[in-house]
Amino acid sequence: MADLHVRSVLVTGANRGIGLGFVQQFLQMPKPPEWVFAACRDPKGQRAQELQNLASRHPNVVIIQLDVADPSSIKAAAARVEEQLEGSGLNLLINNAAIAKMTTLDGETLEDMIQVYTTNTAGPLLLGQAFLPLLKKAAQGSPGSALSCSKAAIINISSSAGSIASPLGWDKMQVVSYRCSKAALNMLTKCQSLGYREHGILCVALNPGWVQTEMGSSSGDMAPVTVDTSVQGMLKVLSSLSEKDTSTFLNWKGNVLPW
């Protein structure tokens, strides 16, 4: 983790689960970011209590209201972050927020397909667009031309459930809308890496493993990986990413996964 020097980071879905884990571990770094933008859809709600407590102890944590399924909320969040950054850029955008519906192939509905796609795929697309000026600014302000997470990066938290070549866990959970949304998120990552490379922005899809969160427990089985272990692994991976890694699908241990 030693090589990840991030001045500013934004994490979506930061009030619980893996998103909250990211915020906690950024704050524990030897050199924490100057700004940790912790975005969540209901900052004053019960489910954001732990994040509120964290923010009250750490002045570099800024809680941002953000519903990733609402384009106007995304625009407002980008404006709020820009204002706070006072002319500097955003180094890291972590698209972590997502939903999963416990559906079967036969029971899947149009409504579920649309809601899950809107949140898990369209959300990260619109966030990339809204934060592009700030990510570009960070890349321009960073010395050297090589891509890295310390310079400017979009990290899309994906899932092996969305791998077409190796779709994990079909026997346990069919979750068709979720799988399709993550397969599409992987393609979005490819598109973003192609489109944003010239701006100096690295883009990867990252699978956190099967993690002990609300989502990770939704099959009823105990997930093997703790939030801390997963996030520690992912931060180590982020610290090691370079030019050659943009446009890849990796897991929390740094192994390349099949799309």
Q: Which residues bind ligand NDP (CB under 6 A)?
A: 12-13, 15-19, 40-42, 47, 66-69, 96-99, 119, 157, 159, 207-208, 210-211, 213-216, 223
CB nearer to ligand NDP: pick between 139 and 210: 210
Q: How far is the CB of 214 from ligand NDP (least distance, A)?
A: 4
Q: How far is the CB of 15 from ligand NDP (least distance, A)?
A: 5
* Angle (deg, nearest 10), helices 123-140 and 176-196: 30
CB nearer to ligand NDP: pick between 140 and 217: 217
CB nearer to ligand NDP: pick between 146 and 258: 258
CB nearer to ligand NDP: pick between 208 and 233: 208
In contact, 89 and 141? CB cutoff 8 Å: yes
CB nearer to ligand NDP: pick between 120 and 142: 120
Q: In what order do the strands lie in the sheet with 202-207?
A: 61-65, 35-40, 8-12, 92-95, 153-157, 202-207, 248-251
Q: At which residue do the structure tokens 């960073």 appear?
A: 142
Q: How far is the CB of 78 from ligand NDP (least distance, A)?
A: 14
Residue of closest CB approach to ligand NDP: 17
In contact, 96 and 157? CB cutoff 8 Å: yes
CB nearer to ligand NDP: pick between 99 and 126: 99
Q: How far is the CB of 174 from ligand NDP (least distance, A)?
A: 15
Separation of alpha carbons 45 and 75, rounded Å: 21
Q: How far is the CB of 36 from ligand NDP (least distance, A)?
A: 15
CB nearer to ligand NDP: pick between 221 and 243: 221
Give the Å distances, CA to CA, from 107 to 61, 89, 112. 41, 44, 10
Q: How far is the CB of 142 from ligand NDP (least distance, A)?
A: 27
In contact, 23 and 43? CB cutoff 8 Å: no
Contacts of 146 (CB under 8 A, 6+ apart): 242, 243
> For residue 97, is it left (φ>0), alpha (ψ between -120 and 50) or beta?
beta
CB atoms within 10 A of CB 105: 9
CB nearer to ligand NDP: pick between 109 and 217: 217
Cα end-to-end distance, the chain, whole Å: 26
Contacts of 145 (CB under 8 A, 6+ apart): 200
In contact, 19 and 97? CB cutoff 8 Å: yes
Q: How far is the CB of 86 from ligand NDP (least distance, A)?
A: 25
Q: How far is the CB of 198 from ligand NDP (least distance, A)?
A: 27
